[in-house]
Amino acid sequence: MRVLKSSLMALAPTLAFAWVLALSLPVMAHGTGNARRKPGQCKTIKKPKKRAACVACVKRPKQHHFHPGKAQGKRCRPNNGKP
């Protein structure tokens, strides 16, 4: 029994690291891509109409973000934890 207990104690740091890594992978797997969340970030959009739509989107009273690569009508999305 002591051998089993000591071997588990030796593995504890490795298991803890694996657990932390497993929990952090979903966070690292989803980047924001090219979503714009602030008016200053809209300045990098080259097309004037799309840039104006971006600024209007991120300045809404309820927080939104803008995806310039998505289809029109699906570019402005609420900040609700979903991309």
pTM of the model: 0.59
Which residues neighbour 52 within 8 Å (Cβ) at sequence distance 6 or greater? none
pLDDT in tens, the chain (83 residues): 565 556 656 666 766 666 555 555 454 444 557 899 999 999 999 999 999 999 999 999 999 999 999 998 999 999 887 76
Provide φ and ψ at 62, rounded to 5°: -90, 135
* 39 within 8 A of 62, measured Cβ to Cβ: no
Beta bridge partners of 66: 36, 76
Q: Provide the pLDDT for residue 64.
A: 94
Cα separation, 13 vs 2, in Å, equals 18
